[in-house]
Structure 1
Amino acid sequence: MNWKSVLEKSLICLLLLFFLFIGWVFARFIILLMVGQRFYLRFADAAACTLAVFIVLWVFAFVRAKVTNLLFVTCLIAGLSAVSVYEYNRHARDSLATVNEQGVDLRVYQPFGSNTKAVSLDEPSTLKLAADMPRLDGATALYPLYAAFARAVYPEKEYDFRNSEVMCTTTADAYSNLLEGKADMIFAAAPSKQQLEAARSKGIELKLTPIGREAFVFFVNSRNTVQGLSKAQLQGIYTGDIRDWSEVGGSPGRIRAFQRPENSGSQSMLQRWMEDKPLMTPPKEDIAAGMGEIIDHTAVYRNYEQAIGYSFLFFATQMIQQGEIRLLEVDGIAPNRSTIQNGHYPLAAEFYAITTSSSNPNVAPLLQWILSPQGQSLVEKTGYTPL
């Protein structure tokens, strides 16, 4: 045995493996920073391990070069095929219709934006504020409404929805801003148990003033043959007791029951409506956060043929306007303005202007105006059901 040759080959092998390790670390960093899919992290790990094996085989020639090269080409083809299949499936998934609060362009509803979609009064407002405007925040679905309130009552200027007297940070953050004194009035569904507990821990009383009514709706892919479900069936789906569409009169197929993030308005509504029945674990998606930490998020609703999701009527039909989903009847009643108004739709609920003991002197006058005929007319013109 030529020990000198073995030593030389070992040093070459170690050097090549070192460079491979550096390349692997760099590849993972780039994947986390630029791509974010867990598939590519696993692919990079598998590719690095495979290359390490082939480096050893090439350097020490444990197997004939022709055999080693053939194996390498086979692995290369397999890897490229895996990437192709993954990208095809990802493209197909991303092309699906989604219902996602983050996908709404709120700029089109800013109170005084050019060509704003925020509705306006047909007459001068009986309330006009020139100073001490209450800081407003709230749910994405209600931003068009309280932007219309601001359009009628507040001085004309730019109100950036990200940071101004009229902002929109979504339900969970709006409740946090109210409790931290960063907002004087928020517009949202009733608080979750966690939000109520957070208020109690700070010694804060949340004052909920109903200002309108809205339907909590469930929707499916438009090709789904199921037209409606009973309350018991919907609860069974979200506890996991009902897992296949064939159990509720549909075509056979596993039900993909999507949920919203904790403390969002629609998730809090679902939890109340479930009447303490335990929710099943929702579908998860692995996404990259920041500089590379992989975390699990509740999956955004994607319109798979076997999917079911939920939201509020105005958001699902006006802000999203996604024609590839169909709203379900509940207990034989379709969700619409008429069935909300007459009380027949079983999942209609009030939404609120929520305040605390703010020192802002204009909170009470604004709240009183929202309940006035003018304020309620904006509720109706926006697309909600007035009290």
Structure 2
Amino acid sequence: MQTFWGVLSVLFIMALLFPLAALGAFTAYFTAMEYLIPLVVAAYLTIGAYAVMSRFELYRYKKVFIIGTSAAVALSLIYAVPGIYDKTRPVLSDGQVDLVEYQPFKEKTKAVSLDKPASLQIKDELPVIDGATALYPIYSAFAQAVYPEKEYDPYSSEVMSSRTGAAYVNLINGRADIIFALEPSKAQIESAKNVGKELKLTPIGKEAFVFFVNAKNPVASLTEDEIKGVYSGNITNWKDVGGKNDPIRAFQRPEDSGSQTALQSFMGDVPIMDPPTEDIASLMGTIIGQVSDYKNHNNAIGYTFRYYSTQMVKNNKIRLLAVNGVEPTVDTIRSGEYPITNEFYAITAGSDNPHVEAFIEWILSNEGQEIIRKTGYVPIRK
């Protein structure tokens, strides 16, 4: 009878703990941290084994218990360490910049100002403007020069930043009058055509498309052909381009993002390999693959735009690569010496706002181009 009650008490303890263990395992699974599941199971079984040993006074097996549980936990940790390491790597993505720092008219805003009032002043029927995160400092400054002073929420106002993909959607669907972004992807052009609209692109400035690596990576420069080799999957180890014997982790951005469209333009007819993905849980409870944000592993490579990486993020743990031996700087962009430069645009899709054309003309004027220069980009006009 004593044994019966002992077994029952152990089962009762395990039953009480099971929901916690199950919750831990399911949480790990649905947050793409499935590498923690063996650790959760090992902890649960360790508690169970300890309960059995204590309840039945099996202390003569104490060494077996310690060795067995230690081995189980150690193996679980060995399995989990790569995943934990991956999760702790610094991430560079478009979502990590606090755009409030560049909000127009905000006290101590980083948005630049002209030395005198702008020649154009729009007082009513303000064009709704949207665009890429990296260009928000520019068009926030445009608004600060031309729009009436009030609060413009960076995420929901006449001056907002929805990031490139969403900005194109807003433009095509008539929720924005002008967006500031790089050239559209083929899918974005097609989306406009499907609703009977044509995207009009007015070049207003230039920027360098840059590739970056971990600051500890000894590789300082790649040729254009080497970069294409990396992103086509033909070059897979850093030793093939003068680095260490390490496999290359070439991160990519989601489709229709400005930087992914820039990569596709750079690659031309060279096919781009499938990107690294992460398994994440969708709202329907299934596990799907999503393009990973850049994680700063020692063997990683990613891409973005010069101003974003050097001014808005200022991540000193990454280093921009020279391309064909040329560093991406304002001077090399202006001279054309840096080989991968992109124009960025004021883009419209047939807005009926009465101020759109005058606003774009002003952006191309000396005043508008001065704002682009003062922000840290290269104006389209010298």
- TM (normalized to structure 2)? 0.86
Aligned twin of 2:134? 141
> 1:38: how far off?
2.4
Task: Give deviations 1:7-29, integer Å, cap 9, x for gaps.
Answer: 99998888677555534433345
> 1:31: how far off?
4.7
1:22 maps to 2:15: no
Aligned twin of 1:120? 113
Distance 1:159 1:313, change over 3 A: same
Aligned twin of 1:130? 123
* Range with bigger deviation, 264-273 or 279-288: 279-288
CA root-mean-square deviation: 3.4
Number of aligned residue pairs: give it. 380
Q: Is the 2:210–2:340 Cα contact (8 Å) retained in structure 1?
A: yes
Distance 1:326 1:23 in 2: 44
Give the partner amino acid of 1:150: A
Q: Could you list the structure 1 runs, at least 4 aligned residues long, displaced by more than 4 angstroms after superposition.
A: 4-21, 29-33, 45-48, 50-58, 64-72, 82-97, 286-295
Q: Is the 1:110–1:118 Cα contact (8 Å) retained in structure 2?
A: yes
> 1:291: how far off?
9.6
* Match for residue 44 of structure 1 among 40, 47, 50: 40
Instruction: Give unmatched runs, 5+ long, in structure 2.
Output: none
> 1:288: how far off?
5.7
Distance 1:312 1:76, change over 3 A: same
Distance 2:21 2:371 in 1: 58
Distance 1:30 1:220, change over 3 A: closer
Distance 1:98 1:26 in 2: 28
Instruction: Provide the secondary structure at the position in 1 that maps to 2:278.
Output: strand
1:267 maps to 2:249: no
Task: Give deviations 1:137-183, integer Å, cap 9, x for gaps.
Answer: 11110000000000001111111111111111111111111122211
> 1:322: how far off?
2.0
* Match for residue 379 of structure 2 among 362, 380, 386: 386
Q: Is the 1:96–1:304 Cα contact (8 Å) retained in structure 2?
A: yes
Q: Is the 2:32–2:278 Cα contact (8 Å) retained in structure 1?
A: no
Q: How much identity, in percent, do the aligned residues show?
A: 44
Distance 1:225 1:17, change over 3 A: closer
Distance 1:187 1:229 in 2: 30
Aligned twin of 1:360? 353
* Range with bigger deviation, 250-259 or 298-307: 298-307
Distance 1:363 1:324 in 2: 41
Distance 1:42 1:296 in 2: 22
Distance 1:11 1:91 in 2: 37
Distance 2:278 2:43 in 1: 23
Give the partner amino acid of 1:25: A
* Match for residue 230 of structure 1 among 223, 242, 247: 223
Distance 2:226 2:92 in 1: 22
Q: Is the 1:16–1:55 Cα contact (8 Å) retained in structure 2?
A: no
Distance 1:13 1:310, change over 3 A: same
Aligned twin of 1:244? 237
> 1:243: how far off?
0.9
Distance 2:342 2:170 in 1: 24
Give the partner amino acid of 1:38: E
Instruction: Give unmatched runs, 5+ long, in structure 1.
Output: none
* Range with bigger deviation, 72-81 or 329-338: 72-81
Distance 1:245 1:135, change over 3 A: same
Task: Give deviations 1:64-108, integer Å, cap 9, x for gaps.
Answer: 956876555444324544676678767765665442211111110
Distance 1:83 1:362, change over 3 A: farther
Distance 1:239 1:73 in 2: 50
* Range with bigger deviation, 142-151 or 332-341: 332-341
Aligned twin of 1:163? 156
Distance 1:52 1:167 in 2: 53
